[in-house]
Structure 1
Amino acid sequence: MVTGLHGSAGTRITPARWAAVRSAVAEAGERFEQLVLGCDGGVMATADWTVADTAAHVAGIAWNYTSMVVSYDTDRPIGGVRDHLLGTTVDNIHTGLNAALLRNFPEREPARLVATLRASIGKLLELSADADPASTVTWLGGARLPRAGLLAHLTNEMLIHGRDIAVATGRPWRIPEEHAALFFELFIVEIIRNGTGVLLDGGRPRAGRIAVEFRSRYTAPVVIVVTDGEVSVEDPGGPVDARVGFRPAALNLMLFHRVGRVRTALGGGVRVRGRRPWLLPAFLRKVRMP
């Protein structure tokens, strides 16, 4: 099992949050499995991926995480993926890492994919049971991601791609706000706090400082700052350019381009105010998802 490394100063990963994300990844896994088994694997879930491709993407991530959660030096179960790890950015992930994963993990039979996902989640929970949840692993682009963030990312992958499958096949799908909040707090905030590597390189950085405060009823308030293209996290209380009130599920769907910004705002999923809210688009060109 993974043991006793300590996270960076200032981490906010509480025992309650650790317990919550462990429960969330197991629950999301069960729901995703049931969804996949109830669909025709050959139906297109997105413009490029079938239901089976989407399930392979999620199962492959989970399977690789069973080695990543231990150490960067541990062999990956899917060949060719590790070659892309350190050079991955949000702009090249689809043509590089994601394509390599699907190419080198050819299984497309839904029942076998679900079995791989179930076993991988179980192994991931077992290996991390005694870990310090704030201790970090080397993630995409050389970013430093706490182990709690690794579980939050996998949970979000199942929630977002589960929605893709559900929308395409006319099935119901729910993204619990409390689970979406874990992605914001344990992944987005903590990967910025610990170091993003080259993950966010590019993005047309704007000179100067943009500070945006994020608040929701499900998360602790936090300020994310872009300064000359560098991203950092601050506690609330200082001057900010924009204040964003949000529902976590709506924010995640917007960040992953499943729902447009205007529609998200009109639906009340994101509310923006502040002294310079027009700087938010420049901020989001840097703080962005694939």
Structure 2
Amino acid sequence: MTSTRRKAWALGSLLLVGSLGLTACGSSDSGKDGAGSGESGGGTHTVKTAMGDVKVKNAPKRVVVLDTAELDSAITLGVKPVGATQATPDAGFLDYLPESQVKGIKSVGEIANPNLETIAQLKPDLILSSKVRDEKRYAQLSAIAPTVLTETTGYPWKENFRTHADALGRQAEADKVVADYEKQVADVTKSLGGKEKAAATEVNVVRFIEGADIRIYGKKNYIATILADVGLGRPAITDKAVDGFSYDVSPEKIDLADADALFTSTYGDPAKAKATDTMKSGLWKNLKATKAGQVHQVDDELWIQGIGYTAAAKILSELNAALTSA
């Protein structure tokens, strides 16, 4: 960044801080709608976040989300963000979301490396992210707009969704989303033959990652919570997962991933992620899941990256179809 641009950015940040300060002083915790600019009033409410209490408008209209979970939450709750980060520069905004729901969203850089100037230019009235992604940028982000951070992403996605709903002023909508999810979970469990039969079916999720070992997912991550809600069994290997998240193996130990059914996804190039060679190996062909025709390749963005209720509804449908196809 040039010296002139740095000065302009610093001045812009100061003006934004001043503007936000005036807004906070001029608003109250009452009011119907947060539409319009920050100076137009509409009321505010306090959201409990990982960084402490944050005052936000009652109904933010210009929202920037800095991770996939926050994007799923906003779309699920009927709010199209004005800006969002992407996993990589050439990635889209979660391929399981309809084009109509993401069209017009401005890219604000990569996850964990957002472009602060681009965010500021969008004049947001709310920014959503997590400490694990953006704690070191919290002061700068807060100078642009009220910033709501959850502690982390993944495993606590349901609690995070409630925080997002509170920040967006969409608690009633969130109640319906959760109720719909719970009904769908119950329907899938019933479709699989009930709780006992579901528990007797052991399922593993395996992710091939370019530049890393093969990941066998444990019991403390997003996808694991969905499997647990349905009541599906998990192989003993999942108890060895580091911090409950994953147990990583080389292709030579892929037999450790065996289960009644396997769901596999790939992040990056399949060849470079070892997916291609692993699935051609004798070890893979001898897995009981392979022999039973119960290896299902799934979309990585949906099953692993999405982390929200819109993704979960689609996952439940795919899970049900796969496990009742035999």
TM-score relative to the length of structure 1:
0.30
Greater relative contact order, per chain length (Cα 8 Å cut-off, separation 6+)? 1
Compare the two structures and name the one with the higher strand fraction. 2
Give TM-score, length-normalised by structure 2: 0.28
